[in-house]
Amino acid sequence: MRVQTLWNLQKLRGKYGRGQFGKIAQKLLALSFRDMGYTHIVERSTEGVDIDIAREANKKFALEVKTTDGLSVVLSADNIQGLRERAKDGYLPVIAALRLAVFENWILAGVPLNELPTGQVLIDRLRAYRMSDVEHVLGPAFEQVAERHFQGTLKGGQRYLNDQLQQTGIEVRDL
Amino acid sequence: MLHLKHLEVEGFRGFPKKSDPFEFTAPAVLLHGGNHQGKSSILNAIEWCLYGDQCVGQKSGIRERVGGWVIVNRNVPKASVKLVIDTDKGVTTINRAEVKGKGRGERTIEVELPDGSVKKGVDAEKEITRLAGLSFKDFATTVYQHQETIHAILVQTPSERSDAIDRLLGLSDYRNVLDGIKRSKIADVQKELAEQFYSFQALVEQTVKIRQDELEHKKEKAVDSGLDANQLNEHKLLEVASDVRNQIGKFASEMAITAAPISSPANWKGAQTFTAEATNEIERLWSESADVKEQSQLNSKRTKADTIKTNCEQQKQAVATAEVEVQKFEQSHGNQEMIETEIRATQSTIAAVDDEIRQVSPKAKLVQEGIALLEATAPAYGTDVCPLCGKTAPNLLNHLKKEWTEKIEWQVHDLNTRWSKLAERKVELEGLKAKHELLTVDAAEAKEQLKASVDKAAEFLGKELTDRDDPIAMLGKEIGEIDDRIIKIEDAIKDKRETLDKISKSLNRLNLLYEVLEFEERISGIQKIEDTTEYKEQNEIRDKVAALVADVEKVDSTVRECMSEQAKNKMKAAAGAIDDYFQKIVGNPAIQELSVEIEEDTRTGGNSYTFRDQNGEELNPVLSQGDLNALALSMFLGLVKAYSHPIGFIMMDDPSQSLGTTQKKRLVEVMDEVCEDRNLIVSTMDSELQEFLQSGLTKAKTIYEFSNWDPKTGPNVIKVV
Contact A122 B190 (CB under 8 A): yes
**Lowest model confidence (mean pLDDT) among A41-50, A62-71, B153-162, B172-181:** B153-162
Contact B205 A115 (CB under 8 A): no
Q: How far is B165 from chain A (nearest CA, A)?
A: 30
Residues in chain B closer than 8 A to A69 (CB atoms): none
Residues in chain B closer than 8 A to A101 (CB atoms): 198, 201-202, 205
- Residues pairing with B10 in the sheet: B80
Q: What is the spatial distance between Cα B274 and Cα B655, in angstroms, rounded to a whole number?
A: 100
Q: How far is B513 from chain A (nearest CA, A)?
A: 19
Summarize pLDDT for A57-76 with one digit per residue, the tens: 678 999 999 999 999 999 99
pLDDT of residue A164: 96
Angle at A16 between CA A12 and CA A19, to 5 degrees: 110
Contact B543 A130 (CB under 8 A): yes
Summarize pLDDT for B567-611 with one digit per residue, the tens: 888 888 888 888 999 989 988 888 888 888 888 877 766 788 888
Q: Which chain A residue lies closest to B545 (C-alpha atoms)?
A: A128
Q: How far is B182 from chain A (nearest CA, A)?
A: 17
Which residue from A101, A124, A128 is facing B205, i.e. has the nearest CB? A101
Summarize pLDDT for B511-536 with one digit per residue, the tens: 999 999 999 888 888 878 888 999 88
Residue of B92, B130, B123, B87 lying closest to B108 (CA atoms): B123
Q: Which chain A residue lies closest to B543 (C-alpha atoms)?
A: A127
Which residue from A2, A104, A127 is facing B543, i.e. has the nearest CB? A127
Binning pLDDT at 50, 70 and 90, where does residue B16 land? very high
Q: Which chain A residue lies closest to B523 (C-alpha atoms)?
A: A3
pLDDT of residue B190: 92
pLDDT of residue A56: 76
Report whether pLDDT(A175) > 60.
Answer: no
Dihedral of alpha carbons B431, B433, B438, B442, sign: positive
Please give the mean pLDDT across all residues of chain B.
88
Angle at B22 between CA B17 and CA B27, to 5 degrees: 160
Q: Which residue has the higher pLDDT, B159 or B429?
A: B429
For residue B11, which amino acid is it?
A: G
What is the rounded average pLDDT of the residues B317-345? 94
CA torsion, ordered B622, B626, B628, B631, to nearest 10 deg: -120
pLDDT of residue B470: 93
Q: How far is A115 from chain B (nearest CA, A)?
A: 9
pLDDT of residue B599: 85
Report whether pLDDT(B638) > 90.
Answer: no
Q: Which residue has the higher pLDDT, B103 or A9?
A: A9
Residues of chain A in Cβ contact (below 8 Å) with chain B: 2-4, 7, 71, 101-104, 115, 122-130
pLDDT of residue B389: 75
Q: What is the spatial distance between Cα B231 and Cα B504, in angstroms, rounded to a whole number?
A: 20
Q: How far is B205 from chain A (nearest CA, A)?
A: 7
Q: What is the spatial distance between Cα B308 and Cα B453, in angstroms, rounded to a whole number?
A: 7
**Lowest model confidence (mean pLDDT) among B337-351, B404-418, B595-609:** B595-609
Q: Which chain B residue lies closest to A112 (C-alpha atoms)?
A: B550
Please, which residues have CB within 8 angstroms of residue A129's CB and are 6 or more apart in sequence?
A95, A109, A110, A111, A112, A115, B550
Q: How far is A164 from chain B (nearest CA, A)?
A: 25
pLDDT of residue B154: 62
Report whether pLDDT(B379) > 80.
Answer: no
Residues in chain A closer than 8 A to B547 (CB atoms): 127-128
Residue of B118, B136, B91 lying closest to B108 (CA atoms): B118
Q: Which chain A residue lies closest to B544 (C-alpha atoms)?
A: A128
Q: What is the spatial distance between Cα B54 and Cα B57, in angstroms, rounded to a whole number?
A: 8
CA torsion, ordered B562, B564, B569, B574, to nearest 10 deg: 140
CB-count burial class (<10 Å; 0-12, 13-18, 19+) for B567 = buried
pLDDT of residue B103: 65
Residues in chain A closer than 8 A to B545 (CB atoms): 124
pLDDT of residue B178: 85
Q: What is the spatial distance between Cα B309 and Cα B474, in angstroms, rounded to a whole number?
A: 9
Which residue from B191, B542, B545 is facing A71, i.e. has the nearest CB? B191
pLDDT of residue B635: 85
CB-count burial class (<10 Å; 0-12, 13-18, 19+) for B86 = middle
Residues in chain B closer than 8 A to A3 (CB atoms): 208, 523-524, 526-527
pLDDT of residue B370: 85
Interface probe with A: pick from B537, B543, B551, B557, most Cβ of A within 10 Å: B543
Binning pLDDT at 50, 70 and 90, where does residue B508 land? very high
Interface probe with B: pick from A1, A105, A122, most Cβ of B within 10 Å: A122
Question: Does CATH number 3.40.50.720 belong to domain A3-173?
Answer: no
Decide: B545 and B193 in contact? Cβ < 8 Å: yes
Contact B190 A7 (CB under 8 A): no
Residues in chain B closer than 8 A to A125 (CB atoms): 187, 190, 546, 549-550
Q: Which chain A residue lies closest to B212 (C-alpha atoms)?
A: A7
Q: What is the spatial distance between Cα B48 and Cα B70, in angstroms, rounded to a whole number?
A: 12
Residues in chain B closer than 8 A to A73 (CB atoms): none
Q: What is the ipTM of this complex?
A: 0.89
Binning pLDDT at 50, 70 and 90, where does residue B704 land? very high
Summarize pLDDT for B217-275 with one digit per residue, the tens: 999 999 999 999 999 999 999 999 999 999 999 888 888 888 888 888 999 999 999 99
Report whether pLDDT(B56) > 70.
Answer: yes
Contact B191 A122 (CB under 8 A): yes
Contact A124 B205 (CB under 8 A): no
Summarize pLDDT for B66-88 with one digit per residue, the tens: 776 788 998 999 999 999 999 88
Q: Which chain A residue lies closest to B187 (C-alpha atoms)?
A: A125
Q: Which chain A residue lies closest to B551 (C-alpha atoms)?
A: A128
Residues of chain B in Cβ contact (below 8 Å) with chain A: 187, 190-191, 193-195, 198, 201-202, 204-205, 208, 212, 523-524, 526-527, 529-530, 535, 542-543, 545-547, 549-550, 553-554
Q: Which chain B residue lies closest to A126 (C-alpha atoms)?
A: B546
Q: Which helix (H) or strand (E) holds B447?
A: helix B409-461
Q: What is the spatial distance between Cα B96 and Cα B110, in angstroms, rounded to a whole number?
A: 6
Q: How far is A148 from chain B (nearest CA, A)?
A: 16
Q: Which chain B residue lies closest to A130 (C-alpha atoms)?
A: B543
pLDDT of residue B104: 63
Q: What is the spatial distance between Cα B593 and Cα B129, in angstroms, rounded to a whole number?
A: 38
Contact B549 A123 (CB under 8 A): no
Q: What is the spatial distance between Cα A153 and Cα A25, in angstroms, rounded to a whole number?
A: 10
DSSP state of A128: G
Please, which residues have CB within 8 angstroms of residue B456's CB and are 6 or more apart in sequence?
B308, B311
Summarize pLDDT for A86-121 with one digit per residue, the tens: 999 999 999 999 999 988 999 999 999 888 888 999
Residues in chain B closer than 8 A to A71 (CB atoms): 191, 194-195, 198
Q: Which residue has the higher pLDDT, B383 or B56?
A: B56
Q: Which chain A residue lies closest to B542 (C-alpha atoms)?
A: A124
DSSP letters for B49-83: HHHGGGGSSGGGT-GGGSSS--SB-TTSSEEEEEE
Residue A104 phi/psi, 5-degree rounding, is: -100, 145
Percentage of the residues of chain B whose pLDDT score is greater than 90: 50
What is the rounded average pLDDT of the residues B423-434? 94
Report whether pLDDT(B7) > 90.
Answer: yes
Q: How far is A72 from chain B (nearest CA, A)?
A: 10
Q: Are strands B3-10 and B78-87 parallel, antiparallel or unpaired?
A: antiparallel
pLDDT of residue B447: 94
pLDDT of residue B155: 63
Contact B198 A71 (CB under 8 A): yes
What is the rounded average pLDDT of the residues B552-561? 90
Report whether pLDDT(B163) > 80.
Answer: no
Q: How far is B555 from chain A (nearest CA, A)?
A: 13
Spatial strand order in the sheet of B714-720: B144-145, B649-653, B679-684, B28-33, B701-710, B714-720
Contact A102 B526 (CB under 8 A): yes
Q: Are strands B3-10 and B679-684 parallel, antiparallel or unpaired?
A: unpaired
Please, which residues have CB within 8 angstroms of residue B355's CB and are 6 or more apart in sequence?
none
Percentage of the residues of chain B whose pLDDT score is greater than 70: 98
Summarize pLDDT for A134-159 with one digit per residue, the tens: 999 999 999 999 999 999 999 999 99
pLDDT of residue B156: 61
CA distances for B224 relative to B233, B244, B517, B590, angstroms: 16, 19, 17, 95
pLDDT of residue B293: 84
CB-count burial class (<10 Å; 0-12, 13-18, 19+) for B224 = exposed
Which residue from B202, B529, B549 is facing A128, i.e. has the nearest CB? B549
Domain ranges across chain A: 3-173
Q: What is the spatial distance between Cα A149 and Cα B239, in angstroms, rounded to a whole number?
A: 29
Q: What is the spatial distance between Cα B124 and Cα B130, in angstroms, rounded to a whole number?
A: 10
Q: How far is residue B697 CA from its own chain's centroid?
A: 75
DSSP state of B257: -
